[in-house]
Amino acid sequence: MSAPPICPRCDQDQIQRYRFKDDGVVFSLCTECDSFWWPQTATDVANALFLDDVVAARLGEVENPWTNRIWADVIEPASGTG
Ligand SMILES: [Zn+2]
């Protein structure tokens, strides 16, 4: 019923639900500033991670995970799937 919350880090965009395509794990993401939240944490600045860091950690890479791939290879919107 309620609208998605506005990102507390950039104040620009709504926080949306996304999921990893490989295992379906859901998380919250601001596509404006790439802030990332696991579902078990509050979507506040203190708990905000960066998508790049999370993806790099999942892939076992250290720096920029987007040299060989794009967002759509890794994540997809999770809205509308109940
Ligand atoms: Zn943001």
List, in sequence order, every residue forming a beta bridge with 14; answer none if it has no partner.
Answer: 6
CB of 35 closer than 8 Å to CB of 12: no
CB of 74 closer than 8 Å to CB of 55: yes
Domain ranges, ordered by start, for the chain: 16-77
Could you tell me the distance, in angstroms and rounded to a whole number, from the CA of residue 36 to the centre of ligand 1?
A: 9
What is the pLDDT averaged over residues 17-46?
96
Could you tell me the distance, in angstroms and rounded to a whole number, from the CA of residue 41 to the centre of ligand 1?
A: 16
Please report the pLDDT score of residue 2 as a whole number: 73
Q: Supply the mean pLDDT for the chain.
A: 91
Could you tell me the distance, in angstroms and rounded to a whole number, from the CA of residue 38 to the centre of ligand 1?
A: 15
**pLDDT one-digit tens code per residue, 61-73:** 767 888 888 999 9
Please report the pLDDT score of residue 64 as a whole number: 83
Q: Considering the entire predicted model, what is its pTM?
A: 0.87
pLDDT higher than threshold 90 for residue 54: yes
pLDDT band for position 23 (cuts 50, 70, 90): very high
Reading the block at residue 65, the tokens are: 């995970």
Reading the block at residue 38, the tokens are: 């696991």
> Residues whose CB is under 5 A from ligand 1 (ion)?
7, 9-10, 30, 32-33, 35
Could you tell me the distance, in angstroms and rounded to a whole number, from the CA of residue 71 to the centre of ligand 1?
A: 16
